[in-house]
Amino acid sequence: RTHTGQCNNKRNAYWGASNNPFVRWRAAQYENDFSTPMGWNSNRMYNGYRLPPVRQVSNDVMRTSNTQVTDPLYSHMLVVWGQYIDHDIDFTPQSLSTSTFQGLTDCKTTCKNESPCFPMQVPSNDPRISTASCLPFFRSAAVCGTGETSTLFHKLQPREQINAVTSFVDASTVYGSTDSLNRRLRDMSNEDGLMKVNTMFKDGTWDYLPFDPNNPCVQDQFDASGVNIPCFHAGDGRVSEHLTLSAIHTIWVREHNRIARVLKAMNPHWSGEILYQEARKIVGAYHQIVHWKYGVGSSYLLCGAVHISRKPHYCRSYTVLEYVPKIIGPEGVNMMGSYAGYDASVNPSVSNVFATAAFRFGHATIAPQFRRLDENFNDHPQFPSILLHDAFFSPWRMIRQGGMDPILRGLLTTFISYGFVFSTFKNVRTAKLLFKNVRHFVALDLASLNLQRGRDHALPLYNDWREECGFRRANNFSDLAGEIKDKALRDKLERLYGHPGNVDLWLAGLSEDLMNGSRTGPVFTCLLARQFKFLRDGDRFYYENPGVFSSQQLASLNKLSFARVLCDNSGLTKVQSDLFMLRDVNQFVDCSNIPMLDLTPWREDPTGEVFFVGSCGMPPSISNGGRKKCGNDVSYYCMMGYQLVGAQVVQCTGTAFTSIP
């Protein structure tokens, strides 16, 4: 697997690769058909109505409330994993320019629509903002040659946006999506195959992520030491957005180094490159297992219709293990279908609608504050809970305030919300998150940002996605009663938008009633299930694809759980067996009772060269590469910079090997 994702698909080398366009499942809808977003011209009519300013929508539909309504089923770890995995598969860079292309006007000061500036207008009666007439917004960077007329092809080239990271679930959050970044993250000072760690501070005996000296973060204003704490350095540049996100990044770098050390002890003849690549391959498989894994057993799932205006109720059903099945529920899992092997005809590239709307459903599940707990899972006496915005870009709070374990304990025991009620999000700063962006010292509105980003990316509006997912187009708001049962909410949407075909997808998706056993409504479930299926089936290196791992290795990996990873890389001694399920601390299990990863199937003959496989004898060697014995199979690999020609896994059949690469 390349770090850029290139050549995953041998016939379409750039499918899923970093720094390539998002794919579209429906044609872009720009006001001028190729570049200006909907809402650019405030007098433009859609289905006989003007589109409401996004800030007005946020104020009218998504007002915050001090009433916190929580989900009794899931822990906040589910939310943070969703954000983490989102950063693994998509990142939309903003325009490199912060000034208008026509002049030198700064986008942070203008209220005019002049690319790349697309400011969010503030209503005159705004309840929170009285000193500004707009909030700044920078358009996403465009793919070169799009959003302009083409003299070469004599046609319009609609503006497209860039996915700067690999689309694959490949732990690019750990290893980066470019070779140059990867080289900066690796410890090349020895032959141990390790990732770099922090050389200034330790979390007890545990390592922190290294710092990025070129990326300043918020500092402790009361610290008199004069020691600067920069942002962390990781495979994804958003690592320091929030302390909880930084914690998950740290866990996986620790796990990579733990595995590399075990592999080195088992196979001392392996080079640093082999150790790195094998540990990376295992960690990548971990990410896929935590993300997709599901099975049979017993657990609690939503039962019956879930109304926005009341809490969900639950019934006993089958186990959903790890992330995806909890989000899209049994119907979404059925849409994905069972894994049938790699399909080279499937494009795994992340879609614009997934990255810009559907997977942003998680913004409606953010807790208003996060807890920090002591070793007894009580509120930490020295480092109490802090508000969400106080944890933005603040690594110093981890370094100087008790380390990572209190943060992890809080994630495991904090409720999440399950959507929003009419006019009110379920907790103080959820899907309308009017937060203090401490990096830029300006109040921003997350709901408005999401709505404006959808228009910037020319996402078709709600009716088109209903049609895409097999639902009837709505001619009036009564037609939405099957998906949005709350009449008061439908009436509110009608007063704002006038026609159901005008509603922004992100808002409409959040407004839908949750499907049974899921965290999303029908349209978002459809879109998420499709994308997750494409990411799985279109990845040649998906861990279950035959030949990626030997049968013995696969059996070992399938015993793995996220809980075990946490136990192996933190000071926690007891956790839930399923970290995403909320459990009373009395129901936590000791880490000693959670199965460990058995790396024995990765053991190679100590000589590294002379080993025999069944009755076939010693398998031939290859230049610029090596081989490993896995039962009656031999797995071949190449050194960095070389590509294997032929089969990766060779089997001993009778007295001869199958074709040697």
For residue 431, give both structure tokens. Answer: 């899907």
- Flag whether 242 is marked binding: no
The helix or strand, by DSSP H or E, that contains position 86, with its residue range, turns out to be helix 77-89
Contacts of 261-266 with C-beta under 8 Å, sequence gap 24+, read 261/192, 261/194, 262/599, 263/193, 263/599, 263/602, 264/192, 264/193, 266/599, 266/600, 266/602, 266/603, 266/604
Q: Cβ distance 591 to 606 under 8 Å?
A: no
Per the omega criterion (within 30 degrees of 0), is the bond before 595 cis? no
Residue 389 annotated to the active site: no
Using CA atoms, how far residue 37 sits from 27, 111, 112, 137, in Å, is 13, 16, 14, 13
Number of CB atoms found within 10 A of residue 56's CB: 17
Active-site pick, 87, 249, 291, 380: 87
For residue 575, give both structure tokens. Answer: 């956790």
What DSSP string runs through 305-362? ---TTS---EEEE----SSHHHHHHHHHHHHH-------TT---PPBHHHHHTGGGGG
With vertex at residue 457, the alpha carbon angle to CA 455 and CA 463, rounded to the nearest 5 degrees, is: 60
Using CA atoms, how far residue 115 sits from 39, 104, 109, 532, in Å, is 13, 12, 13, 33
340 vs 249: CA distance, rounded Å: 31
394 vs 603: CA distance, rounded Å: 41
Q: Binding site for heme b: which residues?
A: 363
Residues belonging to the active site: 87
Q: Binding site: which residues?
A: 363
